[in-house]
Amino acid sequence: MGKQRRKNRTHLKGPTKGETEENVPKSFVIKSGHVTKSISQLVRDTRKIMEPNTASRLRERPNARLRDYLTIAPSLKVTHLLAFTLTDAANVHLRVARFPQGPTMTFRVQKYSLMKDLFNSGLRNIGRSPAGEYRNPPLLVLNGFQQPQDGPALPQLRLMSTMFQGLFPPIQSALPTFRRVLLISYSHVTGCISFRHFTITVRPHGVSRRVRKLLSSTSTSANPTSSRSRKTVDLSNTDDIADYLLRRAGSETSGASTAGYDSASETEASEAESDTNAIELPEDYVGRGNKKGERKAVRLVETGPRMEWRLIKVVEGLVGSKKGEGETVFHEFVHKSAKEANAQAQAHEERRKAKEARRAEQAANVARKKAEKAKKKGKAVDDGEEDEDSDSEEEPDIEGLSDIDPEEELEKLRERKIEERMRMMRMMMIGERMLVPEKGM
């Protein structure tokens, strides 16, 4: 009897508890109104951060309103909305809303840098990471959102931290899925929020930069079909490999040898990794040679976009919804006293009561019209009278249209019916004239 096969292959595990599709927050990242090309690119870069739980290829219509996105959000199970707008004063604003009840936060984007700006600025001082980093959500790191030790309490800090945490699923994933980091920091001095996006890279520990470059170029040469090819090391000016490895920073040929390095910002002092940057991998990680128990150096590479925000306004509801945005919880520039706040709340309550009264009155009018219509129909049946236009000219069902006057709409409908009949009669008369032959033919 043969030996039973031992199952030692790796298989994809199912989602853990809390990572099901129903519990994962989803988002829309859009632009509202007319914006510049730079802001449109910023919207696309922000979608990269929110992947994979966002609409990456969302097509926006030029005349689309926020209410349109609020309408389709429940059917797609979207939980958050991030909308970039450009004001008349050329200020870039970001609205972050929570579906379906709110709240809505409005931030002013003080300054920002796109992904391509950071890529072209020469800040790529670590290298590249393996592909596939956007298949999993980033790790969210919040810094500085604690209440200040001295001074008044800031309730908006707790609200902001809760909103940011709700944008991403909880950390219940395996180690290989940790590919990106999103750092959101609050400064108590300036009152601004720093928004930075990083990619996690794992490299060999205790090896100089030139050795790492040789290893990466060797792996590239062994796999010429790789799509992420890098520049090979130029050894044309050296007689031996030791000349390249032992070359000092102040040598005459050091300028030529820097071609093909990850970045010119790395100095010779950073060639040997310190023990503080090295860890032992608790399990296998993505990339070449990243096995469990290996000692590796973990670095963060900023990929962007980089933004700086300032909280302007917080409202209870959703901006652009039919119910209104609700009461203002926080405003950076408008501070009202208790008396003014009570007066504003009373005015809102009066408007709400007036609106409910109008709806009740309109509903009563609709019920009365229906009762009169049913009474007329019943009387016509008892008398044996038939209404020849009852089938063709039925009054429309206007239940629920509280903002429309029923009598005015019925009058418009009758006028359209009369105009349509007159047009049909004129067409019939023209047709008869064309069929009658002229005399003398």
97-132 per-position pLDDT tens digit: 998 888 999 999 999 999 999 888 864 444 555 678
| Average pLDDT, integer, range 223-228 | 47
Considering the four listed CATH numbers 3.40.50.10480, 3.40.50.2300, 3.30.70.20, 3.90.320.10, the one that applies to the domain covering 27-201+305-315 is: 3.40.50.10480
Name 376's Cβ contacts closer than 8 Å, sequence gap at least 6.
none
Q: CATH 3.40.50.10480 region(s) of the chain? A: 27-201+305-315
| Average pLDDT, integer, range 388-403 | 48
d(CA 62, CA 38): 16
- Tokens for 313, please give them: 């306004």
| pLDDT of 267 higher than 60 | no
Strand partners, 298: 202
d(CA 399, CA 389): 22
d(CA 60, CA 55): 11
Residues of the chain above pLDDT 90, percent: 29
Tell which residue, 194, 140, 195, has the closest CA to residue 170: 140
| Average pLDDT, integer, range 68-96 | 91
- Tokens for 206, please give them: 């205790």
Residue 256 confidence (pLDDT): 38
d(CA 93, CA 86): 6
| Average pLDDT, integer, range 319-330 | 75
| Average pLDDT, integer, range 359-373 | 92
| Average pLDDT, integer, range 387-406 | 50
| Average pLDDT, integer, range 216-233 | 56
Q: Is the dihedral of CA 395, 401, 407, 413 positive or negative?
A: negative
Residues shown for the chain: 441
pLDDT band at 392, cuts 50/70/90?
very low
Residues 84/94, Cβ–Cβ less than 8 Å = yes
3-class state of residue 227 by DSSP: coil
Residue 253 confidence (pLDDT): 44
